[in-house]
Amino acid sequence: MTNAHTIWAKIASALLFVALTLSPPAAMSQQTHWRADYFPNVTLTDQNDRQLRFYDDIIRGKIVSINFIYTSCTDICPLDTAQLRRVQQMLGDRVGRDIHMYSISVDPANDTPATLRRFMRSYDIGPGWTFLTGSREDVDLLQRRLGISPIEPGARLSEHDTSIVVGNETTGQWIRRSAYENPTLLANLLTSRLQNHAPNAGERQSYAVAGQVTDTSPGAYLYRTRCRSCHTIGEGDRLGPDLAGVTASRPAAWLERWIREPDVMLAEGDPTATAMLPRYRNLPMPNLGLSHQDVDAVMTYLRAQDAARARPTGHQ
């Protein structure tokens, strides 16, 4: 079983690689040989109880992003959803029109259409992004074909592969990215690279912006990759609260513990956390698996941001 999984994952990765390294016309002629046969046409159910076939209804002729989630996940996978939500906001009404987003549950026993709808509400997810559930075998098969490792038998759901796959079914280009990817780069892949045309000026500019990393400290890196999809510092709420001034408004010990294990504090009924939760559509802040050292680095970064904002010149 394990070997078969590994081999399939290898074959799928090799195909992804081939698709990416061939020039577009060659890629197209190659892909047409395996495209329809390669992707299984298994039936999945969406959040509105509609039955959709994977190849015919979900990916055929489309530019898509696909990731795998389960709604009770309290650690890394909420980050995926938050990152993709940023991508969806950047792409605006193109999502659902020429770009389609899909999140597929790896926990069909618990993730019913009603559960998926609730999850979408707590993440405030707009139209054009479909959540799907299906049998475990079908989902395993899809993951293997997309170059994503299915959950090993007996492994915990939290060990699932959180990669995000973006692709253009027509051209056969498929690219796998990590949950920590910059949403701007994902948005650019979906709009320019996978669309098979040269980026226009606006897209080129956002590449430049995405590449602009001014603060290379560990805290800044952690903030960019683990926090920024849900928070801003001084630009208003996202999925979570604006963090401007938080190093002054909360005691340091509370803040450090919250960043390290918010799930435990919520489970213990911490009054501050419990009062905060309903103000954010009952979306609990995920446990991002940060070490004490990581938390120190993030705290240093947040303090520096607050200090910079407090300076009269507003120099940052």
Contact residues for ligand HEC, defined by CB under 6 A? 78-79, 82, 222, 226-227, 229-231, 239-241, 243, 246, 250, 255, 258-259, 262, 273, 276-277, 280, 283-286, 288, 298
How far the first Cα of the chain sits from its last, in Å, is 53
**Which C-beta is closer to ligand HEC: that of 146 or that of 283?**
283
**Does residue 149 contact residue 176 with C-beta atoms inside 8 Å?**
no
Shortest Å distance, C-beta 311 to ligand HEC:
21
**Which C-beta is closer to ligand HEC: that of 95 or that of 302?**
302
Which of these, 123, 106, 105, 109, lies nearest to 47 by C-alpha position? 105
> Which of left, alpha, beta for 272 (phi over 0: left; psi -120 to 50: alpha)?
alpha
**Does residue 58 contact residue 64 with C-beta atoms inside 8 Å?**
yes
Which of these, 222, 272, 266, lies nearest to 249 by C-alpha position? 272
**Which C-beta is closer to ligand HEC: that of 203 or that of 296?**
296
**Which C-beta is closer to ligand HEC: that of 164 or that of 283?**
283
* CA–CA separation, 48 and 32 (whole Å): 32
Shortest Å distance, C-beta 162 to ligand HEC:
12
Which of these, 42, 124, 46, 54, lies nearest to 82 by C-alpha position? 124
Shortest Å distance, C-beta 246 to ligand HEC:
5
Shortest Å distance, C-beta 75 to ligand HEC:
10
**Which C-beta is closer to ligand HEC: that of 201 or that of 253?**
253
- Positive or negative torsion for Cα 71, 76, 81, 82: positive
**Which C-beta is closer to ligand HEC: that of 145 or that of 238?**
238
Shortest Å distance, C-beta 294 to ligand HEC:
8
Shortest Å distance, C-beta 108 to ligand HEC:
23
Shortest Å distance, C-beta 133 to ligand HEC:
21
Amino acid, res. 150:
P
* CA–CA separation, 269 and 87 (whole Å): 33
**Which C-beta is closer to ligand HEC: that of 63 or that of 273?**
273
Which residue reads 């969806």 in tokens? Answer: 88
Amino acid, res. 310:
A
**Which C-beta is closer to ligand HEC: that of 20 or that of 276?**
276
Shortest Å distance, C-beta 79 to ligand HEC:
5
Q: What are phi and psi of 276, to 5 degrees?
A: -75, -40
Shortest Å distance, C-beta 268 to ligand HEC:
13
- Positive or negative torsion for Cα 212, 214, 217, 221: negative
Residues near 135 by Cβ (< 8 Å), separated by ≥ 6?
42, 108
**Which C-beta is closer to ligand HEC: that of 66 or that of 73?**
73
**Does residue 44 contact residue 68 with C-beta atoms inside 8 Å?**
no
